[in-house]
Structure 1
Amino acid sequence: MSWTVMDTFEDYETARASFAWDLPESFNPAVDFLRKHEETSVTALKYVDPDGGLETYSFEDLDERSDRLAAAVADLGVEAGDRVGVVVPQKPQNPITHLANWKLGAVSVPLTVLFGRDALQYRLEDSGATAVVVDPSVRTTVDEVRDECPALEHVIELGDAASIEGDAHAFDTLCASHEPGIDVYESTPATPSAIMYTSGSTGPPKGVLHSHALWLGRAAAAYNYFDQGLAEGEATLWTPADWAWGAALGGTLFAAWHHGCPIVGWPREEFDPEAVYEHIEHHEITKAFMPPTALRMLMSVEDPDGTYDLDLETLASAGEPLTSEVVEWVEETFDDVAINDFYGQTELNLVVGNSDDWFDTRPGSMGKPFPGYEVAVLEPDSHEPVDTGEVGELAVKSGDRRVFFDEYWGLPEKTASKRTESGWFLTGDLVERDADGYLWFVSRTDDVILTSGYRVGPMEVEEAILHHDAAEQAGVVGVPDETRGEAIKAYVQPATDDYDPDRLRTEIRDLVRERLAEYEYPQHVAFVDELPTTTTGKIKRRALRDDDI
């Protein structure tokens, strides 16, 4: 197998038996994505700006621009190993910043523009970011938290010197004042590459440190769930998901560039199904990563295959279980379009999924392990294998340890607890495996909420709610939701009896949006006289899920 051109396998059994993680000794993602292709002057990125204008960037263009930014950031004092935050939506400056970081040996910290004050502050401080590149939409928020992030020396805002106020550096001006042609940092698959944050149920978000091997793992998985249709220049990719999310950043954007295919960037504030179909048609998109929530919204448009001239070949989906009605809708609505659900974790890459080339999708199933991975279903306490058809915790091994995460940033005990004595990495997800090897998601082992493809830690939402003076206690759980998979429900114990329920409900939602992220606000808020607690004072979330209060 070459890491320039992936091997193609006619059947699943051959792929499982023949695939091997033969990672190169020397590897830098910036070189891999931009310089290895036969034609570097072809389009790598089509950027549709908010006004509908189109800009195109070749691999050469991205190489030059990331060179310039790397030189500029180096002049600011950023060195190998330093962390650099990236808070930019689907704009060219997002991947350009990541590429510049890796050319310097710096570590990227992908962050979404959907984050509010508390969410951004925690991640920038915890990662020890020395610099952050920000979209103008989040500049004010970053300014608010700078004093709480002692390592943060430089803020770089998109735009030129004429449009930037205060002491931030102007992205365009920095790039224009430096020349391309820098010496790229000599790195390997084991060189630190990115810190991505994942939510937990019993504490603050954890920083997940990955090495450069992460991107090779995601590119290999994308080749599978996009039905081995990523030969150089063969496909055009797009996702509505934020490029801060691992499946969008590594499994779509950088997977496209690893294989030499163009991707479309389109930042937008809302998901309009009809506009999405027009977008897919106009830009001749053939491969799309669509979270289940987006697919369910697309179902609202009547006869899309007859209305729009679509070139779609494959829809890939992840983030929450893909229900049978979505699979059936795709099969009944589109002519020869595959729908491939896949599964992964921030820590453990993209490890299970479907590929229409290899076996039939069973609606509701996660699929089977991708080549290069072994899976087991273990009893959660003893970590002993369970029988076929029984529920247990999904555990994973990789043929190369480096495609999994290196560590939880600053949390050695948490890192150690992720792996069993026999070398299995634990996912925290309960599944069952049928007699044909298909895996089926059952639930989380903890209280993490899966909503619209995002994993939300209830404790973080509870803490945000308690910033409201009128909230005495709060308990947050996930409840079934037809569109989101799960919706967030908050049970709130008011501080006094004198409150307006409708007003307080609105204020709580707005507060969580402001402090955390748009997708983390509680869609449902119920007020209770008292919350169920354990003898040590912890909220009994199971009782809340059962509405046993």
Structure 2
Amino acid sequence: MAWHVTMPTESYERAREDFSWDVPADYNAAHDLVGKHDEPDRVALYQACPDGRRERYTFADLDRRSDRLAAALADRGIGKGDRVGVVLPQVPANPVTHLACWKLGAVSMPLSVLFGPDGLGYRLEDSGAAAVVTDSDNYGTVASVRGDCPALETVLEVDWRNAGGHDGATAFGAAIEAADPGFRPVETGPDTPGIIMYTSGSTGPPKGALHTQSVWVGHCPAFRMYFELDVSEGIFWTPADWAWIGAMGDLLFPAWHYGRPVVDYPMEGFDADTALSIMAEFDVTSTFLPPTAIRMLMGTDVSAYDLSLSAICSGGEPLTSEILEWADDELGGVAVNELYGQTEANLLVCNCREWFPAEAGSMGKPVPGHDVAVIDGETGTELDPGEVGEIAVKHGDDPVIFEEYWNEPEQTDAVRVGEYHRTGDLGEFDADGYLWFKARDDDLIITSGYRVGPGEVEDAILEHPDIEQVGVVGVPDEIRGEVIKAFCQPVEGAAAGDDLRESIRSLVRENLAKHEYPREIEFVESLPTTTTGKIRRTELRERETE
């Protein structure tokens, strides 16, 4: 019988009280995701390519294919503990490579296809990657940094566009075909190192967060919450980069844990009409969409598409009330559930309409299995509701919390206090148990004695119909210590000038607080973002000191 993460669903309180982690002692992530299912011939992956090609893969197909890739990597000297880079878009070879690594006891390493030579080379060299699986589009970037990565001996090229590949490259497909189909996975357990995910590097050099193979188990209770408890049916899709924990952990791997199919589509930049077409074609019921993607959908006539959506989850930044209202009005009441997590400890908090009403701007309530608190970051003392402090989660036996930063013991120690992992984010619980995000600890603005979280100001400005995107930081001021400055990207066709500045200030004064309006506003054509779409506030602050 297939093993699944279960929890009571009668009520949120009952689930919190009765939940316990019960991960098998011989746990292997690949077996859990594609090898354990009672009906292995069910579809696991619908592949959609921009050129119109459509293919489907069953759980048995992925199991066999990852067996052979594991054998091919083993033939090339890859074994337990070795690191393997995965530089691929949303194509089947991407998760197959992760599965193969876990069968070997190797450590996979998702890397965005958006990285240039500097970003990719740093991560490959820092991790000591022994192999990379990439596609023809990114082969040149990998090849350009290979000489700076002394441990990197094997590069496999995936030619998913059927363009012919590169001369001299080792073809992924040929390597699989030549491999022994009788590969037997090595012995692993819940604590076996499984994956390194690099932080976005918005503050200092990127750090590699090492997780065990059971990290995907840690995502499952939240997966059930934000997709409204019943995940025994449905089809799942996200446009998010599969190099991001928000795509793999929020949707892809939990869906496979429960034996549900996922759609893949290698989208080069989010396009609202393409997204709606994919969801309509494959009858997608459940999707993870970043808030920016949702706002782009809001500018599209969704009624032109025959959608089957029942739930949307979203994270990375707080959802505004207009998003929830739009989903009610334009999507027929589809649940939109905010979630919260980070690379080091993902999916700690989320919403679930079946259990409690969403509060616009709140991240929701702690997920069963995760002991979340707001603490004094220095002492580890838990704070009372209404007090702003650092969001933290107890280590205990929680599988979602990372083990260490790769080769960074001091950095690892710095995010631990007592029995807690410190997220570096500031927040507060209210009297009803909802958690409200305030700011990154290093993003907090203190102006005239007031502590202001930039996220709140950004949310308020985004309510303005003429603003597409915004980043808010504190800039030095002789009188107030800091004043609030907003870098605003107007929507196409909007007149950027003093009238718009005053309109924005008035909106924030009226809807947020008089002391939280931006005294300085600069209009920009675009904003600096990380590979996962987050505003790089550090870069905005640096502009002010140049």
Superposition TM-score tier, normalisation by shorter sequence: 0.7 to 0.9
Equivalent residue, structure 1, for 2:134: 134
Amino acid at match of 1:222: F
The question of whether the paired residues in 2 share the 8 Å contact of 1:293 and 1:484 is answered with: no
Paired residues for 1:85-96 under 5 Å:
85-96=85-96
The question of whether the paired residues in 1 share the 8 Å contact of 2:362 and 2:434 is answered with: yes
The answer to whether residue 285 in structure 2 is matched with residue 286 in structure 1 is yes
Task: For residue 294 of structure 2, give the secondary structure of its aligned residue in structure 1.
Answer: helix
The answer to whether residue 327 in structure 2 is matched with residue 330 in structure 1 is yes
Equivalent residue, structure 2, for 1:191: 192
Amino acid at match of 1:440: W
The question of whether the paired residues in 2 share the 8 Å contact of 1:488 and 1:520 is answered with: no
Runs in 1 of length 4+ with deviation above 4 angstroms?
A: 478-481, 483-489, 516-526
Question: C-alpha distance in 2, partners of 1:86/1:484?
Answer: 33
Offset of 1:413 from its aligned partner? 1.1
Task: For residue 133 of structure 2, give the secondary structure of its aligned residue in structure 1.
Answer: strand
Offset of 1:307 from its aligned partner? 2.5
Equivalent residue, structure 1, for 2:431: 435
Cα distance change on mapping 1:381 and 1:520 into 2, 3 Å: closer
Question: C-alpha distance in 2, partners of 1:484/1:101?
Answer: 41
Question: C-alpha distance in 2, partners of 1:110/1:246?
Answer: 9
Paired residues for 1:232-311 under 5 Å:
234-302=233-301, 304=302, 306-311=303-308
Equivalent residue, structure 2, for 1:373: 370
Task: For residue 428 of structure 2, give the secondary structure of its aligned residue in structure 1.
Answer: strand
Cα distance change on mapping 1:299 and 1:210 into 2, 3 Å: same
Cα distance change on mapping 1:156 and 1:259 into 2, 3 Å: same
Paired residues for 1:113-192 under 5 Å:
113-159=113-159, 163-192=164-193
Task: For residue 311 of structure 1, give the secondary structure of its aligned residue in structure 2.
Answer: coil
Cα distance change on mapping 1:488 and 1:86 into 2, 3 Å: farther
The question of whether the paired residues in 2 share the 8 Å contact of 1:25 and 1:188 is answered with: yes
Question: C-alpha distance in 1, partners of 2:305/2:77?
Answer: 51
Offset of 1:398 from its aligned partner? 4.8
Q: Which moved more, 1:389-398 or 1:162-171?
A: 162-171
Task: For residue 9 of structure 1, give the secondary structure of its aligned residue in structure 2.
Answer: coil
Task: For residue 443 of structure 1, give the secondary structure of its aligned residue in structure 2.
Answer: strand
The question of whether the paired residues in 2 share the 8 Å contact of 1:214 and 1:349 is answered with: no
Paired residues for 1:397-436 under 5 Å:
397-421=394-418, 423-436=419-432
Question: C-alpha distance in 1, partners of 2:56/2:135?
Answer: 20
The answer to whether residue 313 in structure 2 is matched with residue 312 in structure 1 is no
The question of whether the paired residues in 2 share the 8 Å contact of 1:488 and 1:524 is answered with: no
Alignment deviations for residues 274-322 of structure 1 (CA, whole Å, 9 cap, x no partner): 22112111100001011111111100013x2x32221111000111111
Equivalent residue, structure 2, for 1:500: none
Offset of 1:404 from its aligned partner? 1.0
Cα distance change on mapping 1:17 and 1:479 into 2, 3 Å: closer
Offset of 1:387 from its aligned partner? 3.1
Question: C-alpha distance in 1, partners of 2:142/2:406?
Answer: 22
Alignment deviations for residues 140-191 of structure 1 (CA, whole Å, 9 cap, x no partner): 1111111111111111111399923344311011011123221111100000
Alignment deviations for residues 62-113 of structure 1 (CA, whole Å, 9 cap, x no partner): 1111111111111111111100000001000000100111111110000010
The question of whether the paired residues in 2 share the 8 Å contact of 1:43 and 1:56 is answered with: yes
Equivalent residue, structure 1, for 2:218: 217
**Structure 2: stretches of 5+ with no match in the other structure:** 445-456, 476-524
Q: Which moved more, 1:352-361 or 1:166-175?
A: 166-175
Offset of 1:380 from its aligned partner? 3.6
Task: For residue 339 of structure 2, give the secondary structure of its aligned residue in structure 1.
Answer: strand
Question: C-alpha distance in 2, partners of 1:517/1:240?
Answer: 13
Question: C-alpha distance in 2, partners of 1:525/1:378?
Answer: 28
The answer to whether residue 16 in structure 2 is matched with residue 16 in structure 1 is yes
The answer to whether residue 356 in structure 2 is matched with residue 359 in structure 1 is yes
Question: C-alpha distance in 2, partners of 1:447/1:208?
Answer: 22
Equivalent residue, structure 2, for 1:444: 440
Equivalent residue, structure 2, for 1:229: 230
Task: For residue 80 of structure 2, give the secondary structure of its aligned residue in structure 1.
Answer: coil
Question: C-alpha distance in 2, partners of 1:242/1:488?
Answer: 25
Cα distance change on mapping 1:524 and 1:158 into 2, 3 Å: same
Equivalent residue, structure 2, for 1:65: 65
Equivalent residue, structure 1, for 2:110: 110
Question: C-alpha distance in 1, partners of 2:3/2:71?
Answer: 28
Offset of 1:196 from its aligned partner? 0.3
The question of whether the paired residues in 2 share the 8 Å contact of 1:21 and 1:399 is answered with: no
Equivalent residue, structure 2, for 1:83: 83
TM-score, normalized by length of structure 2? 0.82
Amino acid at match of 2:424: G
Amino acid at match of 1:177: A
Aligned residues: 480
State the percentage of identical aligned residues: 49
Offset of 1:424 from its aligned partner? 1.3
Offset of 1:447 from its aligned partner? 4.5
Paired residues for 1:480-499 under 5 Å:
482=462, 486-487=470-471
Which protein has greater RCO, CA pairs closer than 8 Å, 6+ apart?
1
Offset of 1:339 from its aligned partner? 0.8
The question of whether the paired residues in 1 share the 8 Å contact of 2:391 and 2:422 is answered with: yes
Cα distance change on mapping 1:524 and 1:85 into 2, 3 Å: closer
Cα distance change on mapping 1:520 and 1:394 into 2, 3 Å: closer
Offset of 1:479 from its aligned partner? 7.4
Question: C-alpha distance in 2, partners of 1:79/1:5?
Answer: 29
TM-score, normalized by length of structure 1? 0.81
Equivalent residue, structure 2, for 1:392: 389
Question: C-alpha distance in 2, partners of 1:23/1:102?
Answer: 16
Task: For residue 373 of structure 1, give the secondary structure of its aligned residue in structure 2.
Answer: coil
Task: For residue 446 of structure 1, give the secondary structure of its aligned residue in structure 2.
Answer: helix
Offset of 1:270 from its aligned partner? 2.5
Question: C-alpha distance in 2, partners of 1:196/1:518?
Answer: 12
Amino acid at match of 1:121: G
Question: C-alpha distance in 1, partners of 2:366/2:163?
Answer: 52
